[in-house]
A and B are shown apart, each in its own frame.
Chain A
């Protein structure tokens, strides 16, 4: 579980962490082999006593120094690339980062759907996950209650996770229904919220 996986892209390094989640900062856009994760993607903080699996519940971008807000540049109608070309000093001042909610950790070669004993260390590398890891996480979605605490972001990230997991399954539509039914038990107290989640997952409902 600890070995670096060739095909999985690198997303960044942990900047702060608790056992229930972490934030990470991404490398700049031109870094070789690095990318920005998508919202709702499964990621893994690989360094530390145990790899920590987490779901990206927010992606944020803005000035690296929060005391120096970015000023408005470029006239109306000017394309973004043109703005960057005219003001080359702005881009290096920006940072992109993401926060992720823990959904499990690796121990003895298997993926457990529970919180790790300790948070991933700061500056631990964060990479993307394989389809196999995605399937393992979704086998028993016991992480849902923790995710639910993050509110609407968590629900939407969960919907994205479920859709991705089902899409890689041999029986996509069957798996989608199975996963939703399992997850549904956690939403029993808030049927309205669950219906919303189901509509997000609904393959026919995609706009």
Chain B
């Protein structure tokens, strides 16, 4: 019942043998060892599993690996350039936008797309844009501060 899926992951072509029921997040974590993408709720709510599919933020626990066949996937491991953290990663670091770090990869993947779509977001727009990402630790204040700071770097 297994079939081969091929996709570009973080810029490189990857192939794996999976069952149709394998979720994209399990393909990434268990077949490709990209464990930066987390599973929080597994019920499509928390956003910890957020990756980019064809350059758009999606919840990888709610996409089948076979649905990503032939497409392009980017994970948290794929956003630093030549060893330099992405400005959003740096902003989370500098503004203490994390405590346990469980939600952080998903937050960052969503936040980068948020800032691309709305270049100078208000705090309200940041909170709305992160509606699909839950954090049990920080109370969100420093996450919002980090995204605001990263958006100012880009301007």
Instruction: Tell me if chain B binds chain A.
Output: no
Residues of A within 8 A of B (CB): none
Chain B contact residues, CB within 8 Å of chain A: none
